[in-house]
Structures are given as structure tokens and as C-alpha cells.
Homo-oligomer: A and B are copies of this chain.
Amino acid sequence: MKPKLTLKKIAKELDVSISTVSKALRDSPEIGEETREKIKAFAKHYNYKPNNIALSLKNRKTKTIGIIIPEIVHHFFTTVISGVEKVANEMGYNVLVCLSDNSFDKEVLNMEMLANGSTDGFILSLAKETMQKGDYHHLIEAINQGMPLVLFDRVVEDISCDKVIIDDVTGGKKAVQYLVDIGCKKIALISTVDYVSVGKLRTKGYKDALEENGISVNEDLILKIEEMEDSEAEIEQFLKEKDVDGVFAVNEHFAISAIKTIQEQGKKVPDDVSVIGFTDGELSKRFIPSLTTVSQHGMRIGEESARLLIEKLERTPSEEEYYKTIIVETGLVTRNSTKSKK
């Protein structure tokens, strides 16, 4: 086990000073050609690589960005990570991934860990608990300390920073409009509680679409689910009591639970009831019937977030502050859980 080669060791071995070695390796014209070549050859031969930590300390940049997500076992978030990783790597950055487990405390802890020099900036999607509490002091603190922050997906209005979101309202509208277009009259909504911003916004899209088509909103056809755990039972209960011909669910799981319930009641999807989900995951694609969904392009979201963050990081401090919000448009992927358009 040979310890890592350092400038100091090279200097000693070649009987020159540390500064000479450093300069030679960085092709400084200060160093004579002969010496330079000798040093470079030596370094190459013994595979010298500068120590990142020392560089970080010197430059006061770590060249790594931290991403904190509520949960990783979730297709959408992994595609986002994938996107972040891709552009980060292209720009010479590393990615530190932390999980908040949807817990406020873990989110704060993670941020504190990363803020002490481990990371140049953050990409973050808020924990459910954080949104519920409405306590964002940790975000504000990070920003005050000069750490750029990009919020994605689960964002919050009153923090001034870059944001990358999808247009949930329009996404929801598209879905419901499609249901209307294929002839659905009694369209149910299965959503989450309102403090999860996406639930709220998609609900708005649902209502908007109905109103635009002259259909009055029936609160009776709206189910708001608090706990993921008992979602299946709640959905079953809900759908049993209603007579609907279309369902818009704000995520894959709800959509699939809905389909199961509907089928168990002896009705057919899509012949009797059409179902549309949100988030285009593996599940939607391979479920039978495969799911028509509003697709949010996680990869794109990740890419845009990383680009936004790195832009801030590499901007000269003289340039003035400004914050962007990028809206990544949604698509509607039509598959077999909806009747075809006439």
C-alpha cells in the first residue's frame, strides 16, 4: 500500500522546490523547459493526481453539489438525480445525494452537514413535513451564507431562489380535458392533501378544466388522501360509493389502486371508466392496462436544476442577483387506460 503521491514528495525526489513542481505541472512559462519536462514525466509515470481536498480548501470551492430529496425509492426522483448527475459531470462537478425521508429534522441536519464546506450549493425538493410545518429557516440561512439553492418540484413561493417546476395546473388541466374529450361526464379526482403543493395545483387544473367545459365541480367526486399507507383502502371505499366514468389521479399509485378497485367492481378499464395518472414511471408503462399519464420529465428537471445551480456558482460575484423559475412542460402519454379519442 503506497501512500498517495504529493507535490512535496515529487519535489523531494527531484530535488526542486514545491512551487517549481506545481508550476511545472500547470505549464507555467516560469519554469525552464528541461525541468518542466522532467517533472511532468515523473508525475505521469507515478500517476500523480492533485488532492481534491487541498484544492477545495485553497480555492474555497468543492466542485460538488448536494441534492437532497425526500425519498429515493421513487422513480421520479431517481430520474431527476440522473439528470443532475449528467450535467454536473459534464461540468466537472460531483454529486452528493442526501435523503430527508420526508422528515423536517433530517432535512435540516442534511443541510447543515453539507453547508459546512462539503458542497458549493444545493438542489432540493422539500420534505412533506417541511411543507406542512412551513418552516424554511434552514433554506434562508443557507442562502444568507452565500450558498446558491435551487428548489425543484416541491417548491415554496416565499423563498427567493431559482426554481424548477412543472406546470402542475396545466398538467392537470390537460389530463382532465382529455377525459372530457373522450366523452367522460362524471370525472373523479384522487389527490393529496393541500399542503403538498403539487396536489393543490393539480386539483386546480382539474377544476379549471371542468369549468372551462361548463361542467360544475362536484366536491363529492374529490378525494384527498393524507397517508400513503392507507391510500388503497381509502380509494376503494371512495370509488365504491360513486358512479364515475373518468378518474384523474395525481400519481401512479393512486391511479393503479383506482384501476384495481374498478376492475374488482366488475367494470372495465377503459371501456366503462377511463383513468389517467400523473408521473410517467415504469409502473405506468408496464401495468396492464398500461396507464395514460401526464408525464413530468424528471431528467429534464434534473438537468435544468443543475444548469441553474452551476450557472450561479460560476457567475462572477459582481453580476447582480436575479432568480429564475423554469417551467418544464408536461406531456400527455396516451396508453390503454383511456378510451381513444373519437
Contact = CB atoms under 8 A, between A and B. Distances in A.
Contacts of A145: 1-4
A20 to B, nearest CB: 22
Given A1-B145, A146-B3, A52 B116 contact: yes
Given A96-B95, A98-B95, A282-B283, A62 B53 contact: yes
Interface string A87-119: 000000011111100000000000011111110
Contact of A54 (B2, B57, B98, B113): B57
A56 B283 CA distance: 42
Contacts of A2: 144-145
Contacts of A117: 51-54
Contacts of A74: 78
A49 to B, nearest CB: 5
- Each complex incorporates copies of this chain amounting to 2
B99 A94 contact: no
Interface string A39-77: 000000000011111101100001010000000111100
Interface in A279-306: 281-283, 286-288
Contacts of A112: 49
A6 to B, nearest CB: 11
A118 B288 contact: no
Contact of A287 (B4, B113, B286): B286
Given A81-B72, A117-B54, A256 B96 contact: no
A153 interface: no
Interface in A202-248: none
Interface in A117-131: 117-118
A74 B115 CA distance: 29
Nearest to A47: B141
Could you say which interface size class chain A belongs to?
A: 35 or more
Interface in A121-155: 144-146
A85 interface: yes
Contacts of A307: none
Contacts of A186: none
A160 interface: no
Contact of A94 (B78, B118, B282): B118
A96 B96 contact: yes
A260 interface: yes
Contacts of A114: 94
Nearest to A53: B117
B72 A144 contact: no
Given A54-B57, A118-B64, A283-B283, A113 B94 contact: yes
A78 B75 CA distance: 9
Nearest to A61: B53
A49 B51 CA distance: 23
Contacts of A286: 253, 256, 283, 287
Interface of A: 1-4, 49-54, 56-57, 62, 64, 72-75, 78-79, 81-82, 85, 94-99, 112-118, 144-146, 253, 256, 260, 263, 281-283, 286-288
